[in-house]
Chain A
Amino acid sequence: MGRRTSLVRRPSRRSRFEAGVKALLFAAAAVSVAVTLAIIFSLVKETIAFFGDVSVGDYLFGTKWTPQFAGDQQSFGVIPLVWGTFYLTFIGLVVAVPVGILSGIYLAEFAPRRIRKIVKPVLELLAGVPTIVFGYFALTFFTPEVLRNFLGLGVNQFNALSAGIILGILVVPTIATLVEDAMSAVPQSLREGAAGLGANKVQTAIRVVFPAALSGVVAALVLGASRAVGETVIILIAGGQQANLSLNLYESYQSMAAYIAATARGDIPTGSIEYETIFIVGMTLFVLTLVLNLISIRLVRKYRQVYE
């Protein structure tokens, strides 16, 4: 009888150790989920508190954002902030989309090795420059020297044009690299087929490879847009801190992210309405970038499926 029970193996020390390691590693992986939950928890808690003071309609459809004022002047319409965010992002993309896509096509299809060796590090460096440096550049060089002196535009010290264009430059490496990846993933046989039919290199790149990589290119653009939407410091420094609902490129604007950074300072009293606005605006920004990111993940998965 004793022998028979010994056939049922009890876990050895070694296998218990292995299981323990696995559990520990899983716990580490679970931390990232906990981070997401903590973000959502923080945002939701104060968002609910905020809607106890301000109605949802006033927030979503109000066209005046003046939480710093008192009494009747105080208003919590988020539209100017959302508008500022989108307007600056739009200006940025007007720069970044053509520049990024053309750079990506060049790197994937045309660049000779020697030029690639220079251009890739330049893009990597540009991507590694902290955004505060771009902000400094926009404020002290691009606005006064390029826009005012060189082009003779009558822009304010803080303006949408400068912040938007520099925002675009910031996003160029993201778009260029992702477009390059997407186009490099297109199988060589498509290029050979096009060449066999008599297409030249440019025709092959534009009419065959680019369309084949389109979902990846769109994913690159969405991710670029998401970066621009979430960017804080460039706009805080060069775009100004004034919520604005207009089209004037020369005026100052405020984005959602810049509002948060401008308002949240260490000493803001917990529970005040200003404290709550940080979270409701943060919630809006979080949801917006989440949606953009999910779209881009979807698109990337699509082009991977086609060619792998």
Chain B
Amino acid sequence: MTGAQIAARASRHTSLHRSGGADRIFSIAFGTLMLGAIGISVLALLTLLFDVARDGISHLSWDFLTSFPSRIIPSNSGIESAIYGTLYLMVVCAAIVVPLGIATAIYLEEYANRERWWNRAIEVNIQNLAAVPSVVYGILGLAFIVRGPLDLGRVVLAGGITLALLVLPVVIIVSREAIRSVPPSIREGSLALGATQWQTIWKQVLPGSIAGIATGIILALSRAIGETAPLLVIGAAVNPRFNPDGLFSSFTALPIQIFTWTQDKDREFVDLAAAAILVMMVLLLLMNSVAIFLRNRYEQKW
């Protein structure tokens, strides 16, 4: 027998000895457990979608989209004011968070010297802000924006600013990753050709990372659309029968309208909440498809 044959026999022997019995059963059991765990998430998502669709789909109609909410008659109720409110909020939110988030990300990635304590403080601060519960942003909105120093009142602008501050950390974190994915050689090449640092960023780094940044912004906005707690706290209007007509108009939003209807004793109103959830989910799905499209179409491979 050659050495190799001895080794082969020996390993066959030990592996027979080992894999029989307990280890094998354990492996199978563990595999089943893992699949079960995955199954729970899949099942949860499917049942959730099924439940919402079952309750809501029969109430979806053009009238539902173009009527104001009614306090008394479910069948006359709709979500026009909520849709307009959500759109207004998103415009304000995007107008604030896009420049602020990208500028912060550029500063942290391209300019900040990490040896300096204040730059590290900004970074840790952003990480912490990302984990502050959304209801606390609502408190900030109530005490600082709606009342207190800014004193805007319960208006679209106040709601939009609150949501923008809430998703700002997300935009910053995702934009930083996108900017970081542009390889240093691009910057070095540009600088070597005589471009200044800002020219390099504006002409090379930003175009190279814009797909990632746009994806991050869309995902952040889709988070803002679904936020209920901060808008509840700052005091969105309940069942308004008017659309907002500017930044200083009172407003409601889809999640607020959904919340109002889930609190109703009348089961038909609760079903309207499901219909509104369907509209919101379609909106979110559209936004996410755009994000995926942008990522696949424009993402640079270096």
Q: Footprint of B on A, CB under 8 Å? A: 14-15, 17-18, 21-22, 24-26, 28-33, 35-36, 38-39, 41-43, 45-46, 98-103, 105-106, 110, 115, 119, 122-123, 125-126, 128-137, 139-141, 169, 172-173, 176, 198, 200-203, 206, 223, 226-227, 229-233, 236-237, 257, 260-261, 264-267, 270, 278-279, 282, 285-286, 289-290, 292-294, 297
Q: Which residue of A lies closest to B19 (CB)?
A: A200
Set of chain A residues within 8 Å of B169, measured between Cβ atoms? 32
- Is B47 an interface residue when CB atoms closer than 8 A count as contact? yes
Considering the chains assembled together, what is the distance between the CA atoms of A125 and B289 in angstroms?
A: 12
Nearest Cβ on chain B to A264's Cβ, whole angstroms: 4
B14, B27, B129: the one within 8 Å of A35 (CB): B129
For the complex, what is the distance from the CA of A226 to the CA of B131, rounded to whole Å?
8
Give every chain B residue within 8 A of A135 (Cβ-Cβ).
Answer: 259, 262
Smallest distance from the beta carbon of A37 to chain B beta carbons, Å? 10
Q: What is the CB-to-nearest-CB distance from B284 to chain A, in angstroms, rounded to a whole number?
A: 7
Scan residues 16-60 of chain B and give those whose CB is less than 8 A from a CB of chain A.
18-19, 23, 26-27, 30-31, 33-38, 40-42, 44-45, 47-48, 51-52, 55
Q: Is the CB of B38 within 8 A of A106?
A: yes
A99 near B40 (CB under 8 angstroms)?
yes
Query: What is the CA–CA distance of A200 and B26 in the complex, to the nearest angstrom?
Result: 11
Could you list 18 further interchain pairs (A-B, Cβ under 8 angstroms) beyond the known A28-B107, A137-B47?
A18-B198, A38-B144, A39-B139, A42-B144, A45-B143, A99-B37, A103-B34, A106-B37, A135-B262, A136-B273, A137-B48, A203-B27, A237-B262, A261-B233, A264-B139, A266-B235, A290-B128, A294-B128
Given A122-B41, A136-B274, residue A232 in contact with residue B229 (CB < 8 A)? yes
Q: Nearest chain-B residue to A296 (Cβ)?
A: B131
Q: From B34, which residue of chain A is reached at the shortest CB distance?
A: A106
Whether the Cβ atoms of A33 and B121 lie closer than 8 Å is yes
- Chain B interface size range: 35 or more
Nearest-neighbor residue (CB-CB) of B28 within chain A? A202
Please give, as numbers and ranges, the residues of chain B lying within 8 Å of A172 by CB-CB distance. Answer: 40-41, 44
CB pairs A–B below 8 angstroms (26 shown): A17-B198, A25-B104, A32-B129, A42-B148, A99-B40, A102-B38, A103-B41, A106-B37, A110-B31, A122-B42, A126-B44, A133-B277, A137-B52, A140-B270, A203-B27, A206-B30, A230-B136, A237-B262, A261-B228, A261-B233, A264-B138, A264-B142, A264-B234, A267-B235, A286-B132, A297-B124
Chain A residues with CB below 8 A from B65, complex form: none
**A292 contacts across to B, CB distance below 8 A:** 131
User: What is the interface of chain B, defined by CB distance below 8 A to chain A?
Assistant: 11, 14-15, 18-19, 23, 26-27, 30-31, 33-38, 40-42, 44-45, 47-48, 51-52, 55, 99-100, 103-104, 106-108, 111-112, 121-122, 124-129, 131-140, 142-144, 146-148, 154, 165, 168-169, 172, 196-198, 219, 222-223, 225-229, 232-236, 255, 258-259, 262-263, 270, 273-274, 277, 280-281, 284, 288
Residues of B within 8 A of A198 (CB): 11, 14-15, 18
Residue of A17, A45, A261 near B138 (CB, 8 A) is A261
Contact B135 A282 (CB under 8 A): yes
Give chain A residues whose Cβ lies under 8 Å from the Cβ of B44.
126, 169, 172
Distance (whole angstroms) from the CB of A38 to the closest CB of chain B: 5
User: A257 vs B137: C-alpha distance in the bound complex, in angstroms?
Assistant: 11
- Asked if B106 and A25 sit within 8 Å, CB to CB, the answer is yes
- Which among B15, B197, B198, B234 has the greatest number of chain A C-beta atoms within 10 A? B198
A106-B35, A198-B14 are known contacts. Are A29 and B131 too (CB-CB below 8 A)?
Answer: no
Answer whether A293 and B104 are a contact pair too, CB < 8 Å, given A264-B233, A286-B136. Answer: no
Asked whether B51 lies within 8 Å of A141 as measured between CB atoms, the reply is: yes
Q: Which residues of A contact B226 (CB under 8 A)?
A: 129-133
Given A39-B140, A200-B19, A231-B133, check contact A130 B255 (CB 8 Å).
yes
* Interfacial chain B residues near A264, Cβ < 8 Å: 138-139, 142, 232-235
A36 cross-chain contacts in B, Cβ below 8 A:
125, 128-129
Shortest distance in angstroms between B224's beta carbon and chain A's nearest beta carbon? Answer: 10
CB pair A233 B45 closer than 8 Å: no
CA distance A128 to B231 in the complex (A): 18
Q: Is the CB of A122 within 8 A of B136?
A: no
- Chain B residues within 8 Å of A294, by CB: 128
CA distance A99 to B139 in the complex (A): 33
Contacts of B122 in A (CB 8 A): 29-30, 32-33
Cross-chain contact B140 with A128 (CB below 8 angstroms): no
Contact B45 A122 (CB under 8 A): yes
User: Does A22 lie within 8 Å of B228, measured CB to CB?
Assistant: no
Cβ B51 vs Cβ A266 within 8 A: no
Contact residue among B31, B125, B140, B259 (Cβ-Cβ distance under 8 Å from A38): B140
B196 touches A14 (CB 8 A): yes
Q: Which chain B residue shows the least CB distance to A297?
A: B127
Decide if A260 touches B129 in the complex (CB within 8 Å).
no
Shortest CB-to-CB span from A263 to chain B, Å, is 9
